[in-house]
Chains A and B, each alone.
Chain A
Amino acid sequence: MADLTTNFAGIRCPNPFWLASGPPTNSGDQVMRAFDAGWGGAVWKTIGEPIVNTTSRYSSVDWNSQRMMGLNNIELISDRPIEVNLREITEVKKRYPKHAVIASLMVESQRETWQDIVKRTEDAGADGLELNFGCPHGMSERGMGSAVGQVPEYSCMITEWVKEAARTPVLVKLTPNVTDIRAVARAAKRGGADGLSAINTINSITGIDLDTLTPRPNVGGLSSHGGYCGPAVKPIALHLVQQIASDPEVGIPISGIGGIAEWREAAEFILLGCSSVQVCTAAMHYGYRIVEDMIDGLSHWMDEKDFATLDSFRGLSLPRVTEWKHLDLNHRIVARIHPEKCIGCDLCYIACWDGAHQCIHRDGFAKPEAAEAATRASIAVTPIAKLDSHAGPEGKTPPERIPHVDEDECVGCNLCWLVCPVPGSITMEKVETGRPFESWEERNRVIG
């Protein structure tokens, strides 16, 4: 059985699944229920001078009848007094000594204020600190959150203040709302950070109510931009994690955040170098119980792949991400359609014609418009089973609806394979070009 125990810059816990700082970690009662459900750690809802929130606070993007592909929020940090949060941290640590409790912090940008909250939080028993330099809405207008995280010098300075006082590991949570996330990551490293959390939410307006013309969430007829998270942001988060994980000037542990809802995504973040992962939206959507499959699924996959510990596969995909100029220009694949599996939706055909390189064809029609016109001109009648002969054998795709690929013209872009609804009906096949590996960089050098 795979060993999921985690050691993040000295913070130990039974597994790498942490609840991210947010509504699911707002109180001691919640965090204890989360630990009972199986979470390995929790980053406490950001502690600081209590704030006043608005109603409403969330809005989302649904996709294809599924709810909450992306979630947006304009909620601020904890609205509960600092001492209440700290008292509950003490209580949780007393009852759950083996689980990780990391306190997320955000206070005014003054050395004494920061050092005071650090001291009080560590005295309460927190296993580590996460400096919230990422929150992109509300708090940033008050000079905190992403207002700090968007300026490398501020991030470095506050990290230094915290490190002067801190006895536990210090993580800096990064905002994605910057041009190059590595600049802030390096600044945090310079300030002495022990680890990084990435990413925080992305500036967003999720949509506009077409009756009231007010963007969501609607707060008394007005709205404000919020922070975007959930499944939609995972690809962006993975890229930013890869950026900092492969930067030699950073080189400290990363806690991966952004759209993680299941074990496969957790594995992806770990393969790009993360030491733990944090989850918020999925727990808000389905509750703490989702962690059971995250643990279970990751364990089974590790057993299947012979990975005994998290360290045995951490970062294995990093060397497989490179710059475009290093990719092999002589690598060639082409699409192949397997007629026995094709159901005749012809989405590959129209996708290739309108969205790619016009190399998938239907016999008898020079262009898609001609195919469609032929249908409109045809005469169809309701068949009467006992009187009319059937057009073809039951359940078989009519041959004229099975397109074929002109492999000489196919550029191997993958689009047809991506739109095909039937697994295995289109495959991308390697074609031997007989030419050796040659990257753009090499080709350019030869030409130069």
Chain B
Amino acid sequence: MSKMEFTSNDPNPESRVPNPESRVPNPDPRFPELHPALDAHAAAIEASRCLYCFDAPCTAACPTHIDVPRFIKKISTGNLRGSALTILSSNVLGLSCARVCPVDVLCEGACVMVRENYKPIEIGRLQRFAMDRFYEDPRRGTPWRAPTPITHAEKVGCVGGGPASLACAAELRRRGYAVTVIDNRPLPGGLNTYGVAEYKLRPQDSLREVDMIRSLGVEFRQALVGEAVSLEEIEKEFALIFLGMGLGTMQRLGIPGESLHGVIDALRFIERYKTSPDFRVSGRVVVIGGGNTAIDAANASRRLGAEEVHLFYRRSEREMPAFKSEYDRSKVEGVRFHWLAQPMEIIGFGARAAAVRFVQTRLGAPDHSGRGAVIPVPGSHYEFACDMVIPAIGQARLTTLLENTRGIAVKNGLVVVDRPTGRTTNPRYFAGGDCVNGGREVVDAVADGKRAALAMAAQIEQ
């Protein structure tokens, strides 16, 4: 049977989804992996470079505090299963984090080797090596610990199927709670399955992790909370509820022409090419936004066949929120950047987008975000012809319902929580991930989910 076969100890056959390999295309040759895997010998040599620091800075820098020197030491001693379990005990999504984490600003950025003018230990690739071996192991089908017996009467529901919910669910399940993850998409995994660029993480990998979490005894259910399933029903079934629903769909630009053909928001664009092998792009593409998702969409457009890709950002290079490494890679891909440009209108030719009208901006005094306020320069409008427009300007925050009916405090569209516990202003609700932090990394979502799980268990057990 294929590697992706779901385990037979699934406690709830109704929650099964079909073999994901039949739903998700195979790795796309247009998107070779950004950081190829290490082989066993290279991994052993790299592992042997690690100094095994005490109270290591890499561990402190990791939001989930993976004991990095410990898992690396285990690679160097050939204890690969032990290495993988060390990673998973801190971060149940160790496989996807190994691939998508911006390690240069996290563990590897904190590596003491950097201060000796040496190359930092390649922690990300070593973690990937340990996780790949774990998932290739024929014993993979057995969970890393047998499903913990359910020892608590209180059930927990996790709304949203992304990294925060998965981490929260896995942690609570291991502590003896019955946990159900409720997601509205056909496959769980959230942005790991649908929204991360292909050259970093393939849907298969995300689904392997989902499969493993399922094998711990976590139940998965497909439903749209707040519509198909009401909050009343959820509250009746579950003692505590974790909100890990992310940010939902992309925010709209709020300008004329957004519904023309040829306008597709960045997340839907990434989801589309990851799930449709025939998806092609041609001509001239305009990407609007300066974040990492904008960069992902711009790079993907190049790979998918666009002759020209132009990224427009309303502030300057200095304020762009994308990581420097992402920005640098994008320049290599041939993406062209336009600064201080705010979109005013998408102009159609018939029903199709044909150009974007921009106004030049200048930066004023710092606004609430600490960056210069964007001020349009009068009379500086210009049109930029294109075949496709990809807005990537942050994601909408669909928490109004909770705010209005459950007394959950929301600020700037984000759920307000107590950081160390994920506690919201409603004692039955906890929250974490993008819906709390506005859209950070997978590893931040995992850390939020884990912290919330500990606090939820403590609240029930007190």
Interface residues of A (CB under 8 A from B): 64-65, 343-347, 349-350, 368, 371-372, 375-376, 378-387, 395-398, 401, 421-422
User: A187 → chain B, closest Cβ, in Å?
Assistant: 45
Inter-chain contact B51/A347, CB cutoff 8 Å:
yes
The yes or no answer to B102 lying at the interface (CB within 8 A) is yes
- Which of B59, B60, B443, B447 has the most A CB atoms < 10 Å from its CB? B60
Can you offer 23 A-B residue contacts whose CB atoms are under 8 A?
Answer: A64-B48, A64-B76, A65-B45, A344-B53, A344-B57, A345-B53, A345-B112, A347-B51, A349-B54, A368-B54, A375-B65, A376-B65, A378-B60, A378-B65, A379-B447, A380-B65, A382-B101, A385-B323, A386-B320, A386-B321, A395-B114, A401-B57, A422-B116
Inter-chain contact A344/B371, CB cutoff 8 Å:
no
Once A375-B55, A386-B319, A387-B370 are accepted as A-B contacts, the answer to whether A380 and B112 lie under 8 Å apart by CB is no
- Which of B51, B102, B321 has the most A CB atoms < 10 Å from its CB? B51
Inter-chain contact B54/A346, CB cutoff 8 Å:
yes
Not counting A371-B55, A380-B61, a sample of 15 additional A-B residue pairs whose C-beta atoms are within 8 angstroms of each other reads: A65-B76, A350-B54, A368-B55, A375-B60, A376-B65, A378-B65, A379-B451, A380-B65, A381-B63, A381-B447, A382-B101, A382-B102, A382-B440, A386-B371, A387-B370
Inter-chain contact B44/A380, CB cutoff 8 Å:
no
Inter-chain contact B63/A380, CB cutoff 8 Å:
yes
Q: How far is the CA of A385 from the CA of B328 in the complex (A)?
A: 14
With a cutoff of 8 Å between Cβ atoms, the chain B residues found around residue A398 in the complex are 57
Once A387-B321, A387-B369, A421-B116 are accepted as A-B contacts, the answer to whether A381 and B51 lie under 8 Å apart by CB is no
- Across the interface, A381 reaches (CB within 8 A) one of B55, B57, B112, B437, namely B437
Inter-chain contact A345/B444, CB cutoff 8 Å:
no
With a cutoff of 8 Å between Cβ atoms, the chain B residues found around residue A396 in the complex are 115
In the complex, what residue of chain A is closest to B102 when comparing beta carbons? A382
User: B96 → chain A, closest Cβ, in Å?
Assistant: 14
With a cutoff of 8 Å between Cβ atoms, the chain B residues found around residue A380 in the complex are 60-63, 65, 447
- Across the interface, A346 reaches (CB within 8 A) one of B55, B102, B321, namely B55
With a cutoff of 8 Å between Cβ atoms, the chain B residues found around residue A421 in the complex are 51, 116
- Across the interface, B115 reaches (CB within 8 A) one of A378, A381, A382, A397, namely A397
Nearest 9 Cβ contacts at the A-B interface? A350-B54, A65-B48, A346-B54, A343-B115, A345-B53, A343-B112, A382-B441, A65-B45, A375-B60
User: A306 → chain B, closest Cβ, in Å?
Assistant: 35
Q: Restricting to B27-66, which residues have a CB under 8 Å from any CB of A?
A: 44-45, 48, 51-57, 59-63, 65
With a cutoff of 8 Å between Cβ atoms, the chain B residues found around residue A383 in the complex are 105
In the complex, what residue of chain B is closest to A390 when comparing beta carbons? B105
Q: Count how many pairs of residues, one from A and one from B, have CB atoms less than 8 Å apart in the complex.
A: 92
Inter-chain contact A385/B105, CB cutoff 8 Å:
yes
User: B110 → chain A, closest Cβ, in Å?
Assistant: 9
Interface residues of B (CB under 8 A from A): 44-45, 48, 51-57, 59-63, 65, 76, 101-102, 105-106, 112-116, 318-321, 323-324, 369-371, 419-420, 437, 440-441, 443-444, 447, 451
Inter-chain contact B116/A343, CB cutoff 8 Å:
yes
With a cutoff of 8 Å between Cβ atoms, the chain A residues found around residue B420 in the complex are 379
With a cutoff of 8 Å between Cβ atoms, the chain B residues found around residue A381 in the complex are 63, 437, 440, 444, 447
With a cutoff of 8 Å between Cβ atoms, the chain B residues found around residue A378 in the complex are 60, 65
With a cutoff of 8 Å between Cβ atoms, the chain A residues found around residue B112 in the complex are 343-345, 397
With a cutoff of 8 Å between Cβ atoms, the chain A residues found around residue B48 in the complex are 64-65
In the complex, what residue of chain A is closest to B439 when comparing beta carbons? A384
Inter-chain contact B55/A372, CB cutoff 8 Å:
yes
- Which of A371, A376, A386 has the most B CB atoms < 10 Å from its CB? A386
User: B355 → chain A, closest Cβ, in Å?
Assistant: 29
User: A89 → chain B, closest Cβ, in Å?
Assistant: 43
Inter-chain contact A384/B51, CB cutoff 8 Å:
no
User: B61 → chain A, closest Cβ, in Å?
Assistant: 6
Once A380-B65, A381-B440, A382-B106 are accepted as A-B contacts, the answer to whether A375 and B54 lie under 8 Å apart by CB is no
User: A390 → chain B, closest Cβ, in Å?
Assistant: 10
Q: How far is the CA of A383 from the CA of B60 in the complex (A)?
A: 13
- Which of B112, B114, B324, B419 has the most A CB atoms < 10 Å from its CB? B112
Q: How far is the CA of A65 from the CA of B41 in the complex (A)?
A: 9
Q: How far is the CA of A397 from the CA of B112 in the complex (A)?
A: 8
Q: How far is the CA of A187 from the CA of B360 in the complex (A)?
A: 98
Q: How far is the CA of A383 from the CA of B447 in the complex (A)?
A: 14
With a cutoff of 8 Å between Cβ atoms, the chain B residues found around residue A344 in the complex are 53, 57, 112, 115
With a cutoff of 8 Å between Cβ atoms, the chain A residues found around residue B369 in the complex are 387
Q: How far is the CA of A376 from the CA of B90 in the complex (A)?
A: 10
Q: How far is the CA of A12 from the CA of B11 in the complex (A)?
A: 84
With a cutoff of 8 Å between Cβ atoms, the chain B residues found around residue A382 in the complex are 63, 101-102, 105-106, 440-441, 443-444
